[in-house]
Amino acid sequence: MASVLVFYATGEGQTATVTDRVVDVLETRGHEVTVVDAERVPADLSAEAFDAVLVGSSIHMGKHPKRVHEFVRAERNALRTRPSAFFQVCLSAAAATRDRRTEGDRYVEEFVAATGWRPDRTAVFAGALRYSQYGFLERAMMKRIAAEMGGDTDTSRDYEYTDWDAVERFAAEFADLVEAELDGEPAGEGPRMIV
* Mean confidence (pLDDT) of the chain: 85
* Max Cα–Cα distance, the chain, nearest Å: 54
Residue 141's pLDDT is 78
Domain ranges of the chain: 3-127+162-194, 128-161
This prediction's pTM: 0.85
pLDDT at residue 96 in the model:
55
Residue-wise pLDDT for 74-100, tens only, equals: 999 999 999 999 999 987 666 655 666
Range with top average pLDDT, 104-108, 135-139, 176-180? 176-180
Instruction: Give the residue, 91 or 3, on which the prediction is more confident.
Output: 3
**Could you read off the pLDDT of 25-51 as tens digits, one per residue?**
999 999 999 999 999 999 999 999 999
CATH code reported for the domain at 3-127+162-194? 3.40.50.360
